[in-house]
Amino acid sequence: MEHKVLVGIDCSPNAERAVDYVGNLMRVHPRCRITLHHVLTVPSADVLPDPDRRRQTLEERRQRALRQLDAMAGRLVERGIPRQHIRLQVQECEKGEGIARRLLEEQRRGGYHTVVVGRRGMSKREEFLFGSVSSKIIREAKNCTVWVVQ
C-alpha cells in the first residue's frame, strides 16, 4: 500500500528539520509518496495597492518558494527517497484564511496518511495571541497521523 505524506514547508529552519526527519524515516518505505507543500499568503491591497506590483510580488514569492521546495526535495533525495516519489506544490491563500486550514484541506483532498510540520519557536504567549500552524493542525486533523518536528 502506498503511504502519502504531506509536509508543510515555510522558510524556517524547522521546515528543514521536518524534511530531514521525513527523509530519514521514510527512506525504508519503498511505497511512500511525499508532497512538499508551501502556502503563500497573497499580499493584501492594503499593503500593496497597485495590482501590477501585487502580482509581481506574488510571482517573486512563488519563484522563491519553488526554489526552496526544490532544495528540500534534494535533501530527501540525499536521504534515499527517489525523486519520482516527491511532488512539489505551491498554493495561495488570502491573509486571514489560515495556512493550517489550507494544509488540512489538502490533506483531505489528497488522502494523505501523514501531515508533517515544523514547530516554530513561539513563546506560549505568542502562541496564545496569534495561534500556531502546528497547534491548529494537531487540534483539527482527522483521519491522519500528525508529526510535529522541532
Determine the pLDDT at residue 127. 43
Residues 6 or more apart in contact with residue 113 via CB below 8 angstroms: 3, 4, 5, 144, 145
Q: Which domains does the chain have, with CATH numbers?
A: 3-149 (3.40.50.620)
How confident is the model over 114-141, as a mean pLDDT?
71
> Minimum mean pLDDT among 31-35, 40-44, 109-113: which range?
40-44
How confident is the model over 14-40, as a mean pLDDT?
95
Determine the pLDDT at residue 93. 86
Quick: pLDDT tens for 82-104: 999 999 999 998 876 789 999 99
Asked if pLDDT for residue 67 goes beyond 90, the answer is yes
Q: Is 125 left (phi over 0), alpha (psi -120 to 50) or beta?
A: alpha
DSSP assignments along 89-147, one per residue: EEEEEETTS-HHHHHHHHHHHHT-SEEEEEPP---HHHHHHH--HHHHHHHH--SSEEE
Determine the pLDDT at residue 4. 98
- Round the average pLDDT of the chain to a whole number and report it: 88
What pTM value is reported for the model? 0.89
Confidence of residue 50 (pLDDT cuts 50, 70, 90): confident
Spatial distance between the Cα atoms of 103 and 36, rounded to a whole number of angstroms? 11
